[in-house]
Amino acid sequence: MLKCGEPHYEQDRFQAIIVAMSILIAEDNVAQRAYLREILEKEFPSHQPVLEAGDGEETVKLALEHKPDVSILDIQMPKLSGVKAARAIWRDFPTARIIFWTQFPHEIYINEIRKIVKSVDPPPAYGFIHKNNPESRFLRFVAAVLEDGADMIDPAFKDSFKRPLLTEFEAEALYYLALGLSNWAIARKCSLSLRGVESRLATLYEKLFVSTAEGTPHEAYDKLAYNVRTRAFFEALRRGLLNNDELEKAAEELEGWIERDGKKFIEEQKREAKKR
């Protein structure tokens, strides 16, 4: 029996075990968060308590503080998206097991998740599932990631997880194309040569149009028939590599850059004129 004033080592160890067996739910929709808590507490009674976060910043804080056995993250949350929250969690807690539970399975998010997972050594166990799945499938996903450390991908999105990964430049370039920037402006924005931009965009087009038969009459015809930049924009929209929220943010940021670069360009022109 512990006496008054003695360290409560056993009690502290027991509390640590409880925390280590927890599950974290990150969802800004209160009703959906309550639904997840109910089914997870019933299905996984040994993994308690079930922790809750209503935004991305709180998600990161709770995950790093409690080190839950598995975290279930919505992708679109206030303050910090589920993808950015996962990046922050894996940076300081690389063995974290995370399931992305979302109704916005846009390829822009899938591309970022794959890049983040690839950057972690060793790659962590994770899952990706649409919210429209039946409860039984969702619980199987959780069990596989939580108990087996398996990667679980919703069958509806298998193809998206197999496509070539886009680099940081390629992902950004899609927004520049959508917003109408010329290669010249992209070169200035990214501090690249014009040739460097053209080469990188050519690689981006190859990734977007992998079905195009190279070296065939079809390829020659397509080059004449299509505006490749407009087609790339359409393909990015179709696959969810662009979305309205991110496009609006990019447009605001670009507007500020255009104003600054325009002034810079005028000064450059003045200096060039003086040299003549």
- In 3D space, the residue among 78, 70, 73 whose CA is nearest the CA of residue 47 turns out to be 70
Residue range 181-205: average pLDDT? 95
pLDDT attached to residue 272? 86
* Per-residue pLDDT tens digits for 252-265: 999 999 999 999 99
Q: Strand 23-26 vs strand 70-73: parallel, antiparallel, or unpaired?
A: parallel
CA-CA distances (angstroms) from residue 100 to 86, 91, 152, 206?
A: 9, 17, 10, 29
pLDDT attached to residue 276? 74
pLDDT classification of 274: cutoffs 50, 70, 90: confident
Q: What is the pTM of this model?
A: 0.77
pLDDT attached to residue 244? 84
pLDDT attached to residue 215? 66
* Per-residue pLDDT tens digits for 115-129: 999 999 999 999 999
* Per-residue pLDDT tens digits for 207-237: 998 665 566 677 778 778 888 899 999 999 9
